[in-house]
Amino acid sequence: MGIKTAFSSKTELQDVVSDIQSQFGDFEANLVVFFASSTFGPEAVASQMGAAFPQAETFGCSTAGEIVSGRMLTNSVVAMAFDRQSVKTAKAVVLEDLSSDSYDAFSSFEQCFNKPMAEMDPKQYVGIVLIDGLSGKEEQIIDRIGDLTNVNFIGGSAGDDLKFAATHVYANGKSYSNAAVLAMIEPVGEFAFVKTQSFCPLAKKLVVTKANESAREVLEFNNKPAAAAYAEAIGTTVADAPNHFMHNPVGLVFEGEPFVRSPQQIKGDSMFFYCSVLEGMELSLLESTDIIADTKKAVETARQELGGISGMINFNCILRTLELNQKGLSSAYGELFSVAPTIGFSTYGEQFIGHVNQTATILLFH
Amino acid sequence: MAGKIRQMIDTIINQRAKDNAMLVGVIKTKLMLKGIDPNKFTAQSPDDPAVIAKLEAVIKDLK
The interface predicted TM-score of the complex, written ipTM, equals 0.91
Whether residues A254 and B30 touch (CB distance < 8 A) is answered with no
Whether residues B32 and A254 touch (CB distance < 8 A) is answered with yes
* Distance of residue B31 Cα from the nearest chain A Cα, in angstroms: 10
Per-residue b/e over A199-213, b at no fewer than 16 CB within 10 Å?
bebeebebebbebee
Q: Which whole number is the average pLDDT over A187-194?
A: 97
Residue A281: name the closest of A241, A244, A253, A257 by CA. A253
Q: Which whole number is the average pLDDT over A253-282?
A: 95
Those of residues 123-162 in A touching chain B at CB distance below 8 A are 143-144, 146-147, 150, 152
Residue B59 at interface with chain A, using a CB cutoff of 8 Å: no
Whether residues A252 and B32 touch (CB distance < 8 A) is answered with yes
* Distance of residue A148 Cα from the nearest chain B Cα, in angstroms: 6
Residue of A nearest to B28 (CA): A254
Whether residues A150 and B30 touch (CB distance < 8 A) is answered with no
Question: Does the pLDDT at position A106 exceed 90?
Answer: no
State how far the Cα of A32 lies from the Cα of A267, in Å rounded to an integer: 42
Residue of A nearest to B17 (CA): A150
Task: Tell me what percent of the residues of chain A surpass a pLDDT of 70.
Answer: 99
Q: Which whole number is the average pLDDT over A138-157?
A: 94
User: Biggest alpha carbon distance in chain A?
Assistant: 63
State how far the Cα of A351 lies from the Cα of A270, in Å rounded to an integer: 25
Question: Quick one: pLDDT at residue A1?
Answer: 62
Whether residues A254 and B16 touch (CB distance < 8 A) is answered with no
Those of residues 105-124 in A touching chain B at CB distance below 8 A are 122
State how far the Cα of A41 lies from the Cα of A123, in Å rounded to an integer: 37
Q: Which whole number is the average pLDDT over A111-129?
A: 94
Amino acid, res. A243: N
- Higher-pLDDT residue of A292 and A118 is A292
Whether residues B61 and A144 touch (CB distance < 8 A) is answered with yes
Whether residues B23 and A150 touch (CB distance < 8 A) is answered with yes
Count of A-B CB contacts under 8 Å: 40
